[in-house]
Amino acid sequence: MGMTLIEKILARASRRATVTPGENIWVNVDVLMTHDVCGPGTIGVFKREFGANAKVWDANKVVIIPDHYIFTADKRANRNVDILREFVREQDIKYFYDITDLSDFKVNPDYKGVCHVALAQEGHTRPGEVLFGTDSHTCNAGAFGQFASGIGNTDAAFILGTGKLLIKVPSTMRFVLDGEMPDYLLAKDLILQIIGDISVSGANYRTMEFAGEAVGRMTMEERMVLCNMVIEAGGKNGAIAPDETTFEYLRGRTDKPFEPVYTDADASFYSDWHCDVSKLEPVVAKPHSPDNRALARECSDVKIDRVYIGSCTGGKTTDFYNAARLLKGHKVKVPTYLVPATQKVYEDLFTLKYDGETLSEIFLSAGCIEPAAPSCAACLGGPKDTFGRLNEPEVCVSTTNRNFPGRMGDKRSQVYLASPYTAAASAITGYVTDPREFLS
Ligand code: SF4
């Protein structure tokens, strides 16, 4: 019997010839990522269990990315970043993407922004490896054919001390996306479609492997959108077979050799879901759950108060390019917040052009609020002074990934998850809007 690509990665990481879903195995970890929200807790457990003077298992395999609550006056949030700084100094951690001058993030070349996008841009997402992170959207890196999964602080502390983790091998649900992608659909529509079909617990502790010609034609940033949101279906991790698109993205970002693996033709799957993407329509996830799917056109009577384009899911260069493409020549009717995921994405807004204008020129002519400093910002609510936070019971169309009550701030607010096209179309009309109204 053949194996899936994830089973092959886990077999290699546990030094076995084969693994079977359901087995408990010890895996060797290639990369551990943590950030300012969970890093301090992880460090606390590490010191308690391994000793105040303990050293991490490998200072070159720990990646620390402050990204969540950076641009805030909140003292506890600031203290969290200080704890990371002390730990990095003490342990001589190689990869630390710190910010030292908060008055202007642009003068901090080390500062990146949202961890999952930064991990990819800095070349830490390598095919065939095992990545754990103290953040549920660590599954984002499955787009590179890597086993990548979110873990809690205790597991992360154990990895810091030993470089290993005991895990159960997940079974794999395969999602085959075939057909020609219509011009008005984005990866966000596809993943919201799938989550709407299988529910927020439909992939509990399973791998969601994406395949098919529509996936093969996607950019890495679009593939990341699929894998980023597998956790919204309860998935342990996402997976996409690496190909030339993957290798091209990684070229120049990492010089560490990696060994891709591929799913065997006779591998067995827990389930096999097929769809012709050319038949799909733009969708949203209505409040208050990512599986509360509706067609965007069915929500055209929903009046909105703002639009938010940002996060690891919907704040990458491609997301802004797509939003700009739709907004060009139009004016927004509601406040439209733009939060680039990383400093690199921010720079792209001022250099990348669509139809003769930079993305930032298009956004400003349309009346959007000036792009903010890169961070998680209001995706996770955050302290009251967080840029874009929903501090009132407002209705928001957002390119983020989660819309549980209070996720973006006020518990009474309502968040509609949508693609950058749908978000931009909704900004123009002030209602939830099918982007086909603006795309020929
Ligand atoms: S952007 Fe949002 S989902 Fe992504 S890591 Fe930050 S808080 Fe989490």
Q: Phi and psi for 373 in degrees, rounded to 5?
A: -65, 145
Per-residue pLDDT of 347-370, as tens digits, reads: 999 999 999 999 999 999 999 999
Judged against a pLDDT cut of 80, whether residue 440 lies above it is answered with no
At residue 63, the pLDDT reads 98
Per cent of the chain over pLDDT 70 is 100
Q: Tell me the best of 70, 116, 227, 316 to mutate to test the pocket of ligand 1, counting ligand atoms within 8 Å of each CB and taking the most.
A: 116
Residue 284 vs residue 1, higher pLDDT:
284
List Cβ neighbours of 257 (8 Å cut-off, separation of 6 or more): none
> According to the model, what pLDDT value does residue 1 have?
86
Q: What is the mean pLDDT of residues 104-116?
A: 96
Q: What pLDDT, on a 0 to 100 scale, did the predictor assign at position 356?
A: 98
For residue 45, the CA-to-ligand 1 centroid distance in Å is: 23
Does residue 318 line the site of ligand 1, with CB under 6 A? no
DSSP assignment of 161-178, as one string?
HHSEEEEEPPPEEEEEEE
Share of the chain above pLDDT 90, in %: 100
Q: Rounded CA gap, 17 and 264, in Å?
A: 14
Strand-pair category, 293-295 with 283-285 = antiparallel
Neighbours of 356 (CB within 10 A): 8
What pLDDT is stored for residue 226 in this prediction?
98
52 CA to centre of ligand 1 in angstroms: 31
For residue 255, report the phi and psi dihedrals to the nearest 5 degrees. -110, 10
pLDDT at 322: 98
Ligand 1 atom showing the smallest separation from residue 115 Cα: 5
Give the torsion through C-alpha atoms of 179, 180, 186, 187, to 10 deg: 30
> How does pLDDT run across 405-418, given as a tens digit for each residue?
999 999 999 999 99
Over 80: is that where the pLDDT of 255 sits?
Answer: yes
CB neighbour class for 352 (10 Å; exposed up to 12, middle 13-18, buried from 19): middle
Tell me how crowded residue 82 is: count the other CB atoms within 10 A of its CB.
Answer: 11
How many Å lie between the centroid of ligand 1 and the Cα of residue 401? 8
Rg of the chain taking only CA atoms, in angstroms: 21
Q: Looking at residue 218, what DSSP letter applies?
A: S
Task: Report the C-alpha gap between 178 and 216 in whole angstroms.
Answer: 9
Write down the mean pLDDT value for the chain: 98
Pocket test for ligand 1, best of 135, 375, 407 (most atoms within 8 A of CB): 135
* Residue 424's pLDDT band (cuts 50, 70, 90): very high
Question: Ligand 1, from 33, 80, 232, 379: best to mutate by most atoms within 8 Å of Cβ?
Answer: 379
pLDDT tens for each residue of 301-340: 999 999 999 999 999 999 999 999 999 999 999 999 999 9
Q: How far apart (Å, rounded) are the C-alpha atoms in residues 99 and 343?
A: 11
Q: Would you mind telling me the total number of residues written for the chain in this entry?
A: 440
| 131 vs 124: CA distance, rounded Å | 9
| 25, pLDDT greater than 90 | yes
Distance 375 CA to ligand 1 centre (A): 8
Whether residue 142 contacts residue 132, with contact meaning beta carbons closer than 8 Å, is answered with no
Pair of tokens at residue 100: 């030292």
Cβ(380) – ligand 1 distance below 6 Å = yes
Instruction: Please report which confidence band the pLDDT of residue 249 belongs to, taking 50, 70 and 90 as the band edges.
Output: very high
Average the pLDDT over 288-304 and give the result. Answer: 98
Tokens encoding 275: 């769809």
Kindly state if the Cβ of 232 falls inside 6 Å of ligand 1.
Answer: no
**Ligand 1 closest atom vs CA 35:** 5
Ligand 1 near 408 CB (within 6 A): no
Measured distance CA(46)–CA(313) in Å, rounded: 30
Q: 35, 70, 319, 401: which to mutate for ligand 1, most atoms within 8 A of CB?
A: 401
> Which pLDDT score is estimated for 224?
98
CA distances from 120 to 131, 146, 148, 189, 270 (A): 12, 11, 12, 22, 29
Q: Are 110 and 103 in contact (CB under 8 A)?
A: no
Span from the CA of 414 to the centroid of ligand 1 (angstroms): 18
| Rounded Cα gap, residues 85 and 87, in angstroms | 5
Helix, strand, or coil (residue 287): coil
pTM check: above 0.85: yes
Check residue 368 and report its DSSP letter: P
